[in-house]
Amino acid sequence: MAQSKDKGSQTARQRKNKQTKAKAKGTRSDAKQPFDDDEQPGTPTATGTPRNESDDNGTAQTASEREKHVANAVLKQKLGKELEAFKPGRVKRRRWFISGIVFGVAAALSGILYANPTQSPHINHIHQVLGEFDVTSLLPESLMPEDFIRDVSKLLSLDGFGQETAANYTSGDFQPAQTLVREEGLKKKHNVILIPGIISSGLESWSTADCSRPYFRQRLWGTSTMFKAILLDKECWVQHMMLDKKTGLDPPGIKLRAAKGLDAADYFITGYWIWGKIIENLAVLGYDSNDMDLAAYDWRLSHYDLERRDQYFSSLKSRMEVALKAGGKKTVLVPHSMGSQVIQYFMKWVESPQGGNGGSSWVNDHIEAIVNLAGTPLGVPKTLSSLLSGEQRETVQPLANYLLDHFMNRNELARIFRSWTGLASLLPKGGNAVWGDLGGAPDDQEDAEAVSYGAQIRFDSDSGVGRISNQTMEEALGLLYRVLDADAQRLLRRDYSYGVFRTQAEMDANKEDHRVWTNPLQHQLPRAPNMTIYCLYGHGATTERAYYYAADDMGADGVLHEEFGTPALRIDKRQRAQVSNVDIGIIHGEGDGTVPLLSLGYMCADAWRKPLFNPHGVRVVTREFVHNPLAAFKDIRGGAGASDHINILGNHDVTADLLRVVAGKGHLVEDQFNSNIREYSGRIRIP
């Protein structure tokens, strides 16, 4: 049908062209296009006579034709030569222009997939994503945007290369749940609450003033509205996303709140799932919105302010109490990434008279298990680079990271990141005891050509930093503190602590200090002997561990200086061919692509098995999964074997373990180690 239609339109165009050529022999004006020369309505023609509102045959123009002619002239006068590219007569140029766009998009995306396939957007759904952008309103009519989008989508759909695999994995095959229900008889038992990580919760605008009105109740984080706002209204978007530097809360006149319900973080944008796979699998066991919830939160806020502004922890406590009272069901909490720290804070808050005042038995009575997925108990080093110089690769979710990196400079990013007091919760904890010193680090590689991780920030002799030397983790945090302004310093002191307690006396003296509730090395697990903590995480993906830096601005006194929040340091991206584990200034180590192995595994494999940190014998299970993605042309997200930081939420083995826990068969889930985490943990000198 499409072929016959194309042939028919082609024949019609040929007949029209013949008629036009025949007329051109007798009358010149019939063959003329509106912008074939520099003539404008009412200006002299080549013969010096003003052009009339009728053509050379004496046929009067209609009103609409005259309006169109005048409009075209005005456009030409304003845009000049730029309009030449869109002449109806320049068909060949237009086709080459469109072809160039298609080729450029394809080449760029191919490069992304080749370099880092598991962190790229899901190309098979580009048609849906672009459809939400209303590209038709942004492109000239002559560019035929509908055809352009269709053709680009088709070009990037990976036809012939594992299309069936990709389609099944994207649309939802409800595996491995269907197999486990059939073979192991799994069915729902416990109430389930999913706790998303940093960035993955959608944030929607409730502001009604000024630039906020077009975005009322639309998500400025998550969905294509975010993309459009960054591209077309960046200043307004930044105003909404930044927090007030004095209060750490909403700026005056701005109100951004976490979206609610399961769809708050099931998909980041159309086609790019986050919790969608896990929700589908839980549904196979019989779960629905009555016994499964997603407790989204405004991840920009510190944990202290989450309760102060949104009563987040009070609401979480109430949900679990209702579930137990109404159905006799304890709850399985399933946090991902930063969500693991949110739950650490909650367990101390809910017991404390300063918080939920639930008493020492509340956690044991209400929580069956905590299943940490790619948890970050000891933080993420790349958070340091994000706050120090506004530079990062995956501190934020990959799709958002791509936008921020390409449409904002690092000075703007540093201002935004520093306003997010919640981001500081991901700064590394444990100091030099965990992350090493200038003599070495617990996770140093045996490769003689690899640089040690003990210096979190390194400077070459010609990096221009004067008297500043290589920085250990503790020194690097001190350096960050020095470059923050007074308000950021005050909020950092108010909200967090990053050290280590080594005695019971220290634990007892600080148990009511909310600053230590996000640091598992400065508080103890609750009195919950019937609860189990599961740590499920991936490894085997190249992960940022430390950095080379250079000076961006240095005073004569050798001290870093900043003005208006401009970072005084930058990552030194020079190539260092003589070092095996460094690329463009980033020192790489082991982990899940975002979180280093030390943070993923030390607490679970070691510290939480010691009386100082787990005095009441909470059962702790560690499960490691080697990152084993499919080739990009088979599945852009890595498939069922991917276990990097985000795509672990679609890993079949991880999902199977989770399903067994929520179905009451958690006793079948036992330790599984296949990395060097226990060896590294043995080198950390903490009692």
What tens digit of pLDDT does each residue of 195-230 get?
999 877 889 999 998 899 999 999 998 877 888 888
Mean pLDDT of the region 261-285? 89
| Host H or E run for residue 293 | strand 292-294
Enter the pTM of the model.
0.76
- Confidence band for 298, pLDDT divided at 50, 70 and 90: very high
Cα–Cα distance, 364 to 330 (Å, whole number): 9
Strands (E), 336-459: 367-373, 457-458
Contact 150, 98 (CB under 8 A): no
For 274, counting Cβ atoms within 10 Å of its Cβ (0-12 exposed, 13-18 middle, 19+ buried), the class is buried
Antiparallel, parallel or unpaired: β 532-539 and 272-273: unpaired
In the numeric block, which tokens belong to residue 129? 């994503």
Q: How many residues belong to the chain?
A: 687
- Confidence band for 351, pLDDT divided at 50, 70 and 90: very high
Percent of the chain with pLDDT over 70: 70
Q: pLDDT of 561-593, one tens digit each? A: 555 555 678 888 888 888 999 988 999 999 999
For 354, counting Cβ atoms within 10 Å of its Cβ (0-12 exposed, 13-18 middle, 19+ buried), the class is exposed
Q: pLDDT of 605-661, one tens digit each? A: 999 999 999 999 999 999 999 999 998 778 888 999 999 999 999 999 999 999 999
Cα–Cα distance, 555 to 548 (Å, whole number): 20
In the numeric block, which tokens belong to residue 206? 């409730």
Q: pLDDT of 421-455, one tens digit each? A: 999 999 999 999 999 999 999 999 999 899 999 99
Contact 529, 438 (CB under 8 A): no
**Distance between terminal CA atoms of the chain?**
76
Percent of the chain with pLDDT over 90: 58
Active site residues: 337, 592, 645
Among 184, 190, 130, 196, which Cα is nearest to 157's?
A: 130
Q: Which residue has the higher pLDDT, 131 or 483?
A: 483
Q: pLDDT of 62-84, one tens digit each? A: 555 555 555 555 445 544 444 44
Contact 113, 205 (CB under 8 A): no
Cα–Cα distance, 367 to 329 (Å, whole number): 9
Cα–Cα distance, 29 to 22 (Å, whole number): 13
pLDDT, position 230: 84
Residue 428 pairs in a beta bridge with: none
